[in-house]
Amino acid sequence: MIKGIINYSHYLMEEAVKKGDTVIDATCGNGHDTIFLSQLVGEDGHVFGFDIQEQAILNTKARLVRNKLTNATVINDSHSNFMHHMPVDKLTRLGGAIFNLGYLPGSDKSVITHSESTILAIEGIISHLKQNGIVVLVVYHGHEGGEEEREQLMKYVRLLDQKLYHVLCYGFINQKNDPPFILAIQKRN
């Protein structure tokens, strides 16, 4: 069966990320992906979660406590600054990252992700990814500013060297109201 967007994003992460890996939740939001990633990497792995909104950080920390998960560090900063917050030994075990682009559900819709910081984050992450590691971007673009971010991301990923990276675009083309889609970047062997 065809997987929905969130299910497929998680499937891609499950295929690439191994127990003990370091992973990044580049947009914590309400903490759902942070929990998923924390369970995926296990006790020996670590999740670094980022969000620019304090409410997202609080939501994610509360969800981690409720789930009794201690292998995550949640940081109130832009994903483009991830290297300032991660020890080198964790960067060398970077198995993947996930982004949910757009805005924090249930919050101020004027606070959105922007292509400039997202592309900076992607560039830094893919330079540290392990072989076969993956970056998954769930692109919500049906809001003000979303179309521009979508266009800039598409332009960027199309230019990635095919000898170094596989780039996938996955989405439903017969849905109304600007359905989200996935861009996935996998580092080749």
pLDDT in tens, 128-154: 999 999 999 999 898 888 899 999 999
Cα–Cα distances (Å) from 35 to 1, 100, 106, in that order, read 25, 14, 19
Which of the four CATH numbers 3.40.50.1220, 2.60.40.420, 3.30.1370.60, 3.40.50.150 does domain 5-187 have? 3.40.50.150
| Continuous segment of H or E residues that includes residue 109 | none
Give the model's confidence band at 108: pLDDT under 50 very low, under 70 low, under 90 confident, else very high: confident
pLDDT of residue 189: 86
CA 18/CA 81 separation, integer angstroms: 24
What average pLDDT does this structure show over 156-170? Answer: 98
Residue 133 token pair: 């590691």
Q: Give the position of tokens 């971010």.
A: 149
CA 68/CA 62 separation, integer angstroms: 10
In whole numbers, what is the pLDDT of the chain averaged over residues? Answer: 95
- Non-local (6+) Cβ contacts of 145 within 8 A are 112, 114
